[in-house]
Amino acid sequence: MTVDLDKYLKPGKDHYIALGLEGSANKLGVGVIRHNQGQLTSSNRAEVLSNIRDTYIAPPGEGFLPRDTARHHRNWVVRVIKRALAVAKIKGTDIDVICFTQGPGMGSPLQSVVIAARTLAQLWKIPLMGVNHCVGHIEMGREITGADNPVVLYVSGGNTQVIAYSKQRYRIFGETLDIAIGNCLDRFARTLKIPNEPAPGYNIEQMAKKGKHLVNLPYTVKGMDLSMSGILANIDSIAKDMFGKQNKQLIDEETGEPITAEDLCFSLQEILFSMLVEITERALAHVNSNQVLIVGGVGSNQRLQEMMKLMIEDRKNGQIYATDERFCIDNGIMIAHAGLLSYRMGQVTDLDHTVCTQRFRTDEVFVEWRDD
């Protein structure tokens, strides 16, 4: 049965416009999206009117602290919203719904952005819609790539999950038992004092391209779940021996050549991504699917996409879908899109229920806009 997305279309209108605000981590994103009347199909795609982002960048060797990130968001949110509206060429009164990230994420940055959303909603007398950050990534990935019903690998600084859709829920088939993959990469970048600009994970990716020796690291897959804290502790220890006071030189046993920082980055990526490919392949077999969609900031890593492609090509008619950094990395447009889908089903978030939460599971969301 096809879901009716136009039951709540305002009289005299043939489209919907949503403003999306994202601020769950160090990216402050504001986006404006337009849905035309009717089902979203290959011939009736959502239209991105603007997608503006500003990033808080911490000094090298440091992570972004909640209070500093929240201060950045408070300082920039009005300017970024104004720019997004200007690029979209709309006024506040043209907007049907204001969507905001309700969680998961860092408490203080989330709170900074929801205050802006509440203020605009009351100024312009527009309803609010709270959005699960993870569902935002999934729905934007599906819309941009055209993936129908894929197994989703969601990999970011705060989340690592393998997800499949069933009966109006995004079911989690496997996930990290401790730290997320993006957090693992970022923390290793701090150990090596790799710059945080444009992003520590991106800089590790570039260094890994120059690595050629695979350092032996733990490989920790437990059924459909994985663990990364032990791998991080192990490679941190190796790096501190190599570049700390001991200045210990490691030699590759096969070639006799010294191990470099680039080799460590290469090894960390290869082990972590191999683990992700393994649990994703197991989920594909479980749900009998041949499509993989990679979303989240780490999803823009070309080596991860390459490894996933090698796996999916072994399956009959296998397809891999991924987006570029405009949509992989946290952004406001994904919040606008997912929120607008909810709004089109008649959902809104009352002002009393706009409290943000740091813990908001992907499978808690009732996906009313998709059929069974």
Which amino acids are annotated as binding site, given as ranges? 133, 137, 154-158, 186, 201, 205, 301, 330
Residue 42 placed within a domain: yes
Q: How far apart are CA 133 and CA 106, in angstroms?
A: 12
Q: DSSP character for 169?
A: E
The structure tokens 């079911």 sit at 171
Q: How far apart are CA 48 and CA 332, in angstroms?
A: 11
Strand ranges in 147-234 using DSSP code E only, listed in sequence order: 151-155, 160-166, 169-175, 221-222, 225-226
Which amino acids are annotated as binding site for a divalent metal cation, given as ranges? 133, 137, 154, 330
Q: Are residues 69 and 182 in the same domain?
A: no
Q: Are residues 236 and 182 in the same domain?
A: yes
- CATH number of the domain where residue 57 is located: 3.30.420.40
Return the SS3 of 121.
helix
Residue 5 placed within a domain: no
Q: Are residues 170 and 295 in the same domain?
A: yes
Q: Are residues 257 and 190 in the same domain?
A: yes
Counting the structural domains of the chain, the total is: 2
Which pLDDT score is estimated for 35? 98
Which pLDDT score is estimated for 1? 62
Q: Are residues 185 and 315 in the same domain?
A: yes
Residue 66 placed within a domain: yes
Q: How far apart are CA 170 and CA 178, in angstroms?
A: 21
Q: Are residues 33 and 153 in the same domain?
A: no
Which pLDDT score is estimated for 103? 96
Q: DSSP character for 257?
A: P
Residue 8 placed within a domain: no
Q: Are residues 24 and 102 in the same domain?
A: yes
Maximum separation of any 2 CA atoms in the chain, in Å: 74
Return the SS3 of 287.
helix
How far is CA 366 from its chain centroid? 19
Q: Name the nearest CA neighbour of 365 among 183, 181, 163, 179.
A: 163
Residue 3 placed within a domain: no
Q: How far apart are CA 127 and CA 120, in angstroms?
A: 10
Q: Are 18 and 339 in contact, with CB atoms under 8 Å apart?
A: yes
Residue 4 placed within a domain: no
Residue 168 placed within a domain: yes
User: Within 10 Å of residue 358's Cβ, how many Cβ atoms?
Assistant: 14
Render each residue's pLDDT in the chain as its tens digit; 372 residues. Answer: 679 999 999 999 999 999 999 999 999 999 999 999 999 999 999 999 999 999 999 988 888 999 999 999 999 999 999 999 999 999 999 999 999 999 999 999 999 999 999 999 999 999 999 999 999 999 999 999 999 899 999 999 999 999 999 999 999 999 999 999 999 999 999 999 999 999 999 999 999 999 999 999 999 999 999 999 999 999 999 999 998 877 788 888 888 899 999 999 999 999 999 999 999 999 999 999 999 999 999 999 999 999 999 999 988 889 999 999 999 999 999 999 999 999 999 999 999 999 999 999 999 999 999 987
Q: Are residues 184 and 246 in the same domain?
A: yes
Tell me the residue range of the domain where 36 lies. 15-141+330-364
Q: Are residues 161 and 307 in the same domain?
A: yes
Q: Are residues 337 and 323 in the same domain?
A: no
The structure tokens 């949110």 sit at 77
pTM reported for the whole predicted model: 0.95
Q: Are residues 219 and 313 in the same domain?
A: yes
Q: Are residues 132 and 25 in the same domain?
A: yes
Strand ranges in the chain using DSSP code E only, listed in sequence order: 15-22, 27-36, 47-55, 97-103, 128-132, 151-155, 160-166, 169-175, 221-222, 225-226, 291-295, 319-322
Q: Amino acid identity of 92?
A: G
Residue 9 placed within a domain: no
Q: How far apart are CA 249 and CA 124, in angstroms?
A: 63
Which pLDDT score is estimated for 253? 81
Q: Amino acid identity of 340?
A: L
Which amino acids are annotated as binding site for substrate, given as ranges? 154-158, 186, 201, 205, 301
